[in-house]
């Protein structure tokens, strides 16, 4: 590992971890948490930040109950709603095929190509003459 700067890698699995490095890492994490709380307070002023900035994660209805999200909708519905208030020039929906189906197509294309090469080389002529 090659690094530059005293605090480039404060904790690592490849080298020695020092008390000084642990202290610096903790300081950085606490600063990041403070920045997060300030951001949330700025964008959701009525929220009791001490109740939600505990390091826990809340999803779906639990996040809505705590006023961490405004509403619960699918990404498709979000796009439809946005189209009502914006100038939308194109919306394209591409459905990805499941892995087994994609693999099946690859196998089929490979087999078709192999059979065509054999046919072109005359490998099947003895079977059909």
Instruction: Tell me the per-residue pLDDT of 75-84, one tens digit each, with 9 for 90 and over.
Output: 989 988 988 9
Torsion sign across C-alpha atoms 61, 67, 73, 76: negative
pLDDT of res. 128: 61
Question: Domain map of the chain by residue range?
Answer: 1-72
- Check pLDDT > 60 for residue 27: yes
Q: What is the dihedral of CA 79, 83, 84, 87, to 10 degrees?
A: 160
Give the least confident one: 5-9, 38-42, 91-95: 5-9
Give the least confident one: 21-35, 45-59, 90-104: 90-104
- Check pLDDT > 70 for residue 110: yes
Please tell me the distance from the alpha carbon of residue 17 to that of residue 75, in angstroms, as a whole number. 43
pLDDT of res. 122: 76
- Check pLDDT > 90 for residue 112: no
Q: If pLDDT is split at 50, 70 and 90, which confidence band does 59 have?
A: very high
- Check pLDDT > 60 for residue 102: yes
Q: Report H helices in 5-98.
A: 19-43, 49-52, 60-65, 75-85
Please tell me the distance from the alpha carbon of residue 90 to that of residue 83, in angstroms, as a whole number. 10
pLDDT of res. 113: 83
- Check pLDDT > 80 for residue 45: yes
Contact predicate 27/7, CB 8 Å: no
């Amino acid at each position: 590992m090659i690094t530059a700067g005293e605090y480039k890698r404060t904790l690592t699995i490849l080298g020695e971890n020092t008390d000084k490095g642990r202290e610096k890492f903790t300081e950085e994490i606490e600063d990041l948490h403070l920045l997060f709380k300030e951001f949330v307070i700025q964008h959701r002023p009525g929220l009791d930040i001490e109740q939600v900035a505990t390091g826990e994660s809340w999803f779906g209805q639990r996040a809505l109950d705590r006023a961490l999200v405004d509403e619960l909708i699918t990404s498709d519905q979000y796009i439809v709603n946005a189209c009502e208030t914006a100038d939308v020039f194109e919306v394209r929906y591409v459905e990805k095929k499941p892995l087994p189906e994609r693999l099946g197509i690859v196998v089929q294309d490979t087999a078709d190509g192999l059979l065509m090469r054999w046919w072109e080389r005359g490998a099947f002529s003895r079977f059909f003459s």
